[in-house]
A and B are shown apart, each in its own frame.
Chain A
Amino acid sequence: MIRGTGPGIRSRNRVCGVEEIKARRRQQERALRKARKEKQLVSKRLPRGLQGDGEEMEIRETSVTQEEVLQLYQRIQHGSDDRLAALRSLHQVLQLKEAQQMFVRFENSIRVLIGLFTSNLASVQLKAAQCLLELSHSDDPSISLVCLPATPYLLTYLSGQSAKFTELCLYILGNLAAENEAVRNQLLLQGVIQALAICLQSPHGAVVEAAAYSLSQMLQAKEAGEKIIPAVLEANLTPHLIRLLDLDSEFGMQTAVECAWCLHYIVSSGVNCECMISQNLIRQAVILLIALGKAIESGITTDGVELLIYPVARCLGNLIVSNGPARSKVQPHASDVLRALSTFTSRFLQSRPFVTRECLWLLNNLTAGDEQFCSAIFHLNLVPVFLQLIPFSGGINTLACVSFANQSGISALEAIQYNSNEEIRVRANYLMDRYFTHKAPRCLEMGKFLNLSISFPFWLILDF
């Protein structure tokens, strides 16, 4: 099984040039793409802030000997003041893959660690949990899966009230859930869905985010459609996820991002979404996109805001495919949504073209066969915005064309008249030249491609 490789340990001793970082990043991306194509894309999360004690996590060595790890292992077995210090060192050392391999091979090391994990001394318990998190985060299953015997305890502790500890347990579970179907089956049998439902209602933002992350790992699975999504729907988890798609939520954007991914996995599985629509999913998604659009327009941008935009756009895009209540719920917000989408498409065209692409897909689904949306586009004078996208490659131009072509003929005629100046003609020419010329089409076919009813005005334009 091939997995994308992780970023590795951050070593403060080595000086990394910018080029080196870029090269590493490109390599990482290639590996991830390959893994995705093979349907083996597995990623885990280890929030660095969670692994500190309030102090910086320093990694002093880049390597460690078997003897050193063995010593630490021996020290943690003896009940003494030294135990906690040894655990701390062990935790640091377990950031190194070789140390992980050594540790898990010692006899009974995992039983010892899990025993400490269930200890009744807070600091010991927390430290042991952090060690387990390091192990669970490994991309080597022979290391991460050693944490499996801890799952009944992990799930039991999720009902507890200690926020940081719960958060740790959730990330361990989420990382394990990403591993394979057998692990997920075990977790399902042990009641993971209901346990996550409780955590999603926690008053602590970090816990909610961690719960949503773990849930997203369950939902991303290949088998999610048959086994996991029905359980999630039955356990009535979705109202919590939907409620958290809220910019004004006290829990911040990161939590909303995780919830958005959960919802995307559910919606894109093809399951019947009526219950989620009745739980206000459309409204929340629409309002969120509008708010994000306004924020970007007014210049209040946060780094990474696109992380929230496109999973929400995906949800909405798939939800409105079928006729029914979904589409009617978007109608009242038509202008605002369109404005937001046009903001997104222009804003991210250069930096994150996939965001633009996905927003255009949403736009297609909004406008296809929908006169109201189409005319809204014209009234808001958004046509030039989308026309601008046409020269760009990567699937965006075809999408823009498709969106453009969704518009009804009469409205198109109005627009052409309204814009009956040089600009739109030049753009239309550009469109024809750039996109259609190399296929040597004739005007008639070209017009038919766009739409029978708007072919006529285009003839007018091209007839020189």
Chain B
Amino acid sequence: MKENVASTVVFILLLFLNINLLNGQSPPGKPEIIKCRSPEKETFTCWWKPGADGGLPTSYTLTYHKEGETLTHECPDYKTGGPNSCYFNKKHTSIWTIYIITINATNQMGSCSSDPRYVDVTYIVEPDPPVNLTLELKQPEDKKPYLWMRWFPPTLVDVRSGWLTLQYEIRLKPEKSAEWEIHFAGQQTQFKILSLYPGQKYLVQVRCKPDHGFWSEWSPESSIQIPNDFTMKDSTVWIFVAVLSAVFCLIMVWAVALKGYSMVSCILPPVPGPKIKGFDTHLLEKGKSEELLSALGCQEFPPTSDCEDLLVEFLEVDDSEDQQLMPAHSKEHPGQGMKPTHLDPDSDSGRGSCDSPSLLSEKCEEPRANPSTFQTPEGIEKPENPPKNVTHTWDPQSTSLEGKIPYFHVDGSKSSTWPLPQPPNQHNFRSSYHNIADICQLATGAAGASATLLDKTDKHAFKSSKTIETGAEGKAAEQREVESFPSKTDQDRAWLPPQEKTPFLSVKALDYVEIHKVNKDGALSLLPKQKENSDQTEKASTPETSKEYAKVSQVTDNNILVLTQDPRAPNLALFEEQAKEAPPSLPHNQAQKDLASFTAPPGNCRLQLGGLDYLDPAGFMHSFQ
């Protein structure tokens, strides 16, 4: 029985529920707050969207509580904001405070609450649009006409006290156009428009935004009709001027482009860079004077080269043709007019090719003198091939001496400009030059301190010890003996003391050798003198600038001519005369004197004046014997 009652009750309840469900009634759905807005940061309104009402009349309530409070309040005004809204007036509005707002939907069946919404009035400010937008066309005299518009802030917003600060934006368009032209107006409540199409009807709108809030809606449209004569009077003139100037500028640009290069080069000619052959600026920057000077062709300063460069060859003068005096290369100190001699490697017979007297002083003049600036006697050919040969052969010797004897070190190539004259119609005397360097080497080798010796006595020693047996005119002191005096083998000979001067040149052949020139290396290039007279005259006409070892200082016992440089005009005659005397045995002392006289102050490029140095043959004379 009881079971029956219970089940019946349940059945009735279920029936009741089913009936209700069949009717479609249910508790309300969940409402939702759409948005909350404040038009002036003093009041605000919230709107919600109801959920399903469940088929029954549903009532909605809004409840809230403020940050920091526990009391829950209900919406003070459901009407002012319209349906499903709640308006909070000034009394109920607090700024910088969070409101937690909830909507409750209730119907007969039940109720449902929305999710709480956190609202801070500070950040939901959206004002009304500006009001009283007025448009006016203004056409002042002598000025451009324009459209002038002004408006007022929305009525509710308190701008005067500074509670809200508004910024405005206007937009306008011709009535039939599709796109708006928007302008930002800042905080001002007026605006001017200048560019307008005449004869059109324009629509204008304005909106505003608070300093930290949302833009308002656009105000209602205001319209204005632009009259047809609304033109910019002087605009055509300006357009004309602009076009003209643009054309002018284009022409100028085109002209400059065409002729710009020539103009620029006319105005600013390219500056030629300074160039000195053989001068390496990098070396100069590094501060290594040695390398610099060596690059320029000068030997080290102070002289430290060995004596290999001091080639002194005995001149061997004979009648054989096509003999050439080997240019005597010697590396001489810049201040010393060393007459370089070069040993002709081919001269087994001691013959060397002779060049005309060279000008040692040339080399002495400038450290950077280009060997190509040799001043050769003009009457003499200036063959260019042989020098190379000479240099090739000479180079090994010279290079070995570089470090010991001060001289104008010229590059190998430069020294190759030491031409060996090969006048076809001339005899080429071959004289073997004794390498001054060898002599030096002798001395240095013996001394064991060649470098230091050189350094100390460089000037004098160099000068005094070098007696160049260049091709002596007339009977050049060719010494067959010289050829037996190999430059290299006698390196261990003792270094000649400066004062010792012994003529070493023994002229065997009776032919004159003319000093062609002295190249940078101090090598004498000698020219064979075919005929005394002819050669003499020929050589006599050599330029004054050429330095010729045309003066025989002495003739040694061994018929070695000790030549000196004649500062005066080429004194081939003198040379010749003296040579003719050969083999006179000049007194030793005379040679000494002469040599001493040649001992020009070191570094003093007075070789032109006769400061040429000769290798003192005395040194190797001993060995020679």
A binds B: no
